[in-house]
Structure 1
Amino acid sequence: MSPTYILTLSCPDQPGIVHGVAGLLFTLGGNITEAAQFNDAQTGLFFMRVQFACEQTTQAGLENALAELAAQWRMSTELKRADTKMSTVILVSQHGHCLNDLLFRFKSGLLPIDIRAIVSNHRDFYQLAASYNIPFHHIAVTAASKADAEARQLDIIRNEGAELVVLARYMQVLSDPMCRALSGKAINIHHSFLPSFKGARPYYQALDRGVKLIGATAHYVTADLDEGPIIEQDVARVDHSLTVDDLTSIGRDTESQVLARAVKWHSEHRVLLNGHKTVIFK
């Protein structure tokens, strides 16, 4: 079978971009199997995702030709093999529902990721990691040790060649340097429908406000707590009779599903950053 690639790009919107991309791939022997585009009228930017098969040109040849096209159209481009699983490191604390869900989907082949390591500030899930033959790293975090702990975490992430870091209910606020180091490749799950109930204990906040819907939000990590570009959200209906424990129990399923969808779309290169927002080609 012909090698299959995924090309994602963004640039200032102008006539002829689709023609230019499709024409270049045609001349290189490419056959487009999936394509999606979006013109953002607010920012004047154009976004595109193209999946194509090509056996007449090597990946290096494709990248060289795309570099020339990018210079012509002032594009940012990324080319990836569609059959390559995204190397991933998961950070977790003491709530394991999202971790367990991701591990099951990974093992079942439902997510195109390769989980290289699990890092935690607690020891709770070392046996779970071992059951999947995934290295487990316990790195305790205190106010005094935070900088050293994050340096050790970054060493693991870099040594594993991780293209994606998933905060699967990792209950530590990352420092600004850590956020910058992971910019665009770290996904957090927040147990609230942002921008409502940011920060700690959102289910308590939800109960206090008497909301009728609780939710979960998967977003990219930034230095601004719980304000990174949103990838996916969902909600569950609740009522006045429920306790905080009830809300927490209901919310776990929503959190797991939202995070799994965000990880899937990111690892399939379907999410493009658009300032403080995202463009998602589902």
Structure 2
Amino acid sequence: MRISSPRLYRKLCTENKLPLPHFRTLRRYMKNISPTYGSNEKYFGSSCCKSRQLFRARTTRENKMVNNRVLCLLLDEMGLDENTNDDPNTKQFVGLVNLGKYTKVADKTKAGNHALGSDRWSIYESWCCPGRDPPKIIVEAIGLIEKAGFKVDVVTTDGATWNRAMWKSFGVIMDENSCEHPVDSTRQLMFASDFPHLVKGLWTWVLNKKQLNTPDGLVNIHHWKVLYVNEAKLGIEGNFTITEGSSATNKLPKNECKTSNA
């Protein structure tokens, strides 16, 4: 809303199109969110309450009181515009590289251009608790979530180079997708890669290399071009997601998984 305009959101609230919180309520909540490294104490306080509620919940399914507190930690890195400014509330500069105690001395005066976002999803329930990724930061996040009363059994990331290096540091290789849990030695911590980003990586490979050999045959970028040309001639759209720019590397939106999965 700050990047474009809050007019659409205000209109939805005024006309009661969706059950959305008021704009002032959002601003009040946003004041409690710090754009710096660290854990949100209020969030983990509410997580403890949620954990106790789930534990006390009555259910007829066996062991569900334990299962509904098992979470999957989702991590994703996002690009940011480099910008630093003075926060009038904390009297500190915001926008510099900040990885807490893991920040290198040489990076403390540099403007940050990436951020690590995380979500905690319940594996057995439908609720979600929204919230450089060195392994120490991941271990710290898992420790905080487990301290709140939940259990993290899976860490899910995309297949970026830095994430593959992170998997390797945990001992995760091709034939081994888990390691000893950093909090409980009697459990295993699983690592997973989200499927849309794997498809995106495959599509990017085909765009750059023009073809790919698979056990089922050859995948060639020329196939997409021929399909688009023939559909345009016949006036039909067997696959309406294919456009003229689908086979052009410079026209593929960066980080756009929807186009890749088409």
On whether the aligned pair clears a TM of 0.5, the verdict is: no
Instruction: Determine which structure has the larger helix proportion and give its number.
Output: 2
Structure whose alpha-carbon radius of gyration is higher: 2
Comparing both chains, which one has the higher relative contact order based on Cα–Cα distances under 8 Å and sequence gaps of 6 or more? 1
TM-score (norm 2): 0.31
TM value normalised by structure 1: 0.29
